[in-house]
């Protein structure tokens, strides 16, 4: 089992992100809201992590939360999503900075729910 998060798993195309936000299924577990869109053509999962500037003005805090979400996905994606191909947009919606354990629990639950879509 490899715990890598390679560049090919980063979703960066503007069209793909807007399609994901408009057509994706919404999953929610506080403090994360996720959009999931199943894709069979890619062959692996792709992710986008966002933290609204409206909630956290300082880039340091936004980057901290994105790092925590990215790490939670990196460590749990293979155990939960074995063979499932989809695009994910994870948005941090909490008003304050949650500890890593809360973020990891939310990510695990969201990834497990997404497999049933």
pLDDT of the chain along its 117 residues, tens only?
A: 577 888 999 999 999 999 999 999 999 999 999 999 998 877 888 999 999 999 999 999 999 999 999 999 999 888 777 778 899 999 999 999 999 999 999 999 999 999 888
- Give the DSSP H or E segment for 20: helix 14-23
User: What is the Cα 105 distance to its own chain's centre?
Assistant: 13
Q: pLDDT tens for residues 16-40?
A: 999 999 999 999 999 999 999 998 8
pLDDT, residue 42, reads 77
Residues 32 and 103 sit within 8 Å (Cβ to Cβ) = yes
Pick the CATH number of 11-114 from 3.30.230.10, 3.90.1710.10, 3.10.105.10, 3.90.45.10: 3.30.230.10
- Give the DSSP H or E segment for 88: strand 86-92
Per-domain boundaries in the chain: 11-114
- Locate 41 and state its tokens: 């053509």
| pTM for the model | 0.92
Q: What is the C-alpha to C-alpha distance for residues 65 and 32, in angstroms, rounded to an integer? A: 11
């Amino acid at each position: 089992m490899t715990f890598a998060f390679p560049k090919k798993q980063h979703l960066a195309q503007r069209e793909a992100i807007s399609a994901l936000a408009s057509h994706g299924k919404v999953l929610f577990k506080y403090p994360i809201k996720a959009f999931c869109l199943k894709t069979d053509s890619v062959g692996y999962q792709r992710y986008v992590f966002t933290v609204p500037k409206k909630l956290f003005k300082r880039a340091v805090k936004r980057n901290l939360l994105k790092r925590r979400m990215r790490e939670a996905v990196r460590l749990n994606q293979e155990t939960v999503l074995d063979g499932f191909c989809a695009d994910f947009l994870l948005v941090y919606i909490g008003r304050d900075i949650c500890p890593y354990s809360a973020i990891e629990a939310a990510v695990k639950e969201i990834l497990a729910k997404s497999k049933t879509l």
